[in-house]
Amino acid sequence: MPRTLQTPRAAVHVHPDAATLCRAAAEDFVHRALEAVAARGVFNVALSGGSTPKGMFAILASDTELRAAAPWADIRFFFGDERTVPPDHADSNYRMANDALLSKVPVQAKNVFRMRGEDKNPKHAAEDYEFILRSQLPTLDGTPVFDLFYLGMGPDGHTASLFPGTKALHDSDHDVVANWVGKFYCWRLSLTVKVINRAKQVIFLAAGDDKAAPLKAVLEGPVETEQLPSQLIRPANLLWLVDEAAAKMLEPR
């Protein structure tokens, strides 16, 4: 069992290491999928890029019991953000998810909704994905609602492709944006804060020593959302799944 910390801003489940964290996340995914399908007939989930989600995906694809238990035919996969690259590019979040999970389990192609990172006009790609979300998902007050939204966090405190100091942090008019990220000199596609916060459940996955300082800052430090965009994520249900390395600076509670 993980140890649980209650920080000022969210509950944190701390696992001994990244491998244990990934397995716990995979088991939790199947449990939530089964509950949602039993209640509503469908499970709508937004995936994240990153090494920790990749580890979770690999377990879902390879573990015989979890793979057999998951209601794949009724799970619909979306993406929280994407690089402006083709789907077969090494940097593509879609490619990572497809290689690690989607191509290895019985998911129907019609239930996978990727962002068109290859579109030469990123703003058009954002508009296209916004149309997909609004046509495929239930909405509340006009905003699409996910059953589960996975997020990671970068060492700079960013999440999805919501980077410190970028215009997307303040966008309350759109569901999906093309966000210019000056530090990389490129566009990124990202769902906005209002969509993430509308999800029924948001889960951050974070592992490793390089996440310790930003995790402490985001959960226990002063509110500095311009510098730490992960602090903008304040849904009704928020959970952090982390390993001991990432949690080592948090105050015990």
Say if 105 falls within a structural domain: yes
Backbone region of residue 172 per phi and psi (left: phi > 0; alpha: psi in -120 to 50; beta: other values): alpha
List the one residue out of 173, 96, 159 whose CA is nearest residue 127: 173
pLDDT digits (tens, 9 = 90+) for 58-82: 999 999 999 999 999 999 999 999 9
Average pLDDT over residues 170-189: 96
pLDDT tens, 193-221? 999 999 999 999 999 999 999 999 999 99
CATH number of the domain within which 205 lies: 3.40.50.1360
Token pair listed for 37: 């399908």
* Residue 122 lies inside a defined structural domain of this protein: yes
* Residue-range definition of the domain harbouring residue 39: 3-247
Structural domains counted in the chain: 1
Residue 252 lies in a domain: no
At 101-154, the pLDDT tens digits run 999 999 999 999 999 999 999 999 999 999 999 999 999 999 999 999 999 999
In a domain, 253, yes or no: no
Q: Which helix (H) or strand (E) holds 189?
A: strand 186-191
Residue 167 counted as domain residue = yes
Separation CA 191–CA 46 (nearest Å)? 10
Residue 252 has pLDDT above 90, yes or no: no
Handedness of CA 149, 15, 52, 186 (dihedral sign): positive
0.85 surpassed by pTM: yes
Edge-to-edge strand list for the sheet holding 176-181: 81-83, 186-191, 176-181
- Residues recorded for the chain: 253
Residue 73 lies in a domain: yes
3-state secondary structure labels for all residues of 91-150: CCHHHHHHHHCHHHCCCCHHHECCCCCCCCCHHHHHHHHHHHHHHHCCEECCEECCCEEE
**In the predicted structure, residue 54 carries a pLDDT above the cut 80:** yes
